[in-house]
Chains A and B, each alone.
Chain A
Amino acid sequence: MQQHFADTDRKPLNAGDIAVGDPLTPMDIDLTPTIVAATAIATRDFMPVHHDKDYALSQFAPDIFLNILSTNGFVSRFLTDWAGPRAWVKNINIRLGVPAVPHQTLRFTGEVLDKAEAGDKVEVTVSVIAANDSGNHASGSAILVLPRD
């Protein structure tokens, strides 16, 4: 029996449900060493700084830290957790800041900046910030493509 973890009851948003200024549903990730290592390996990034604390300390890092593919992976999840299963993530544009380290919460927030017609779809531009106790880990914007209604 194939185990299924997909959230098949998830409700989709359409562009008509969204207004400029709307907040995105915040997403908190309580980062653990296991999450940092598991996501790095899932992205096929074997750099020791993402799973080996001794190595990370030898490189003057405070601990192991999230790799950038995983930052983008969590941004993608943050966007579609909010926008639902009809949304297509078209663009993620981030500036990178402090490292995302274990034992801190990485909190994703954002708001709708713009809506623009694009053929029979609508492009929704949102701001994205992922921050922990030390400041912004990533900040920027993203574009989602959604059905009109």
Chain B
Amino acid sequence: MKEPADIDLFKASQDALDRYLQSWVGENLNTTGTNHAPDPVNMPMIRHWVDAFDDRNPVYEDTASAKQHGWGARIAPPAMMQTWTMPRVILEGIGERGGASQELDPDIPLGVLDRVGFNGILATNSVLDFERPLVEGDVLQSDVVLESVSERKKTGLGLGYFLTWRQTYIDQDGASVGRQTFTVLKFDPSTIG
């Protein structure tokens, strides 16, 4: 169990804030536990996706094409991996939550940085690895672990911290199907210049 975040202390002491942030490295950022896909990989959501992206790769929709081109069955677009485990959304209050689909734990590093004044956010890097094609019926779950927090840096947007987390995806057999490594800058807009 982690100590509750002491926001007043963190505002007064960069050292205390930095130690708190570093104490989260290696920890699961989803403090309510593993994220389970609300639905298995399914054709209605795939069809919705390919129509939104106008992606006409036939192996996503047409079984004969998928088999003709060496796939055992029609497959989901690889970039849908994250979509399968997106949490269900509570629309009420989403704007006040900064767009988060559900209430976040205010003591995770992102929440603490918001409360200390580093409330700006800018995504800087995304690395996606896909290990196998997903097919209808696959049921995914994901965990997200904080990989690193930089020291406080002076950036073009003000003082800030770069946070990198790694979201891992496993299937119904516990086998890894892919991961995303994601880096954001959390910055204090009042310190620009």
Contact = CB atoms under 8 A, between A and B. Distances in A.
A77 B60 CA distance: 11
Interface residues of B, number: 45
B35 interface: no
A136 interface: no
Interface string B118-153: 000011111111100100000000000000000000
Nearest to A91: B129
A143 B76 CA distance: 18
A90 B45 CA distance: 21
What band does the interface of chain A fall in when counting residues whose beta carbon is under 8 Å from B?
35 or more
B56 A76 contact: no
A116 interface: no
Secondary structure class of chain A's binding surface, majority of residues: mixed
B117 interface: no
A58 to B, nearest CB: 8
Nearest to A7: B56
9 contacts: A4-B61, A8-B64, A69-B82, A73-B53, A73-B80, A74-B53, A91-B127, A91-B128, A93-B127
Interface of A: 4-8, 10, 12, 35, 38-39, 41-49, 52, 55, 68-77, 80-81, 84-86, 88-96, 147
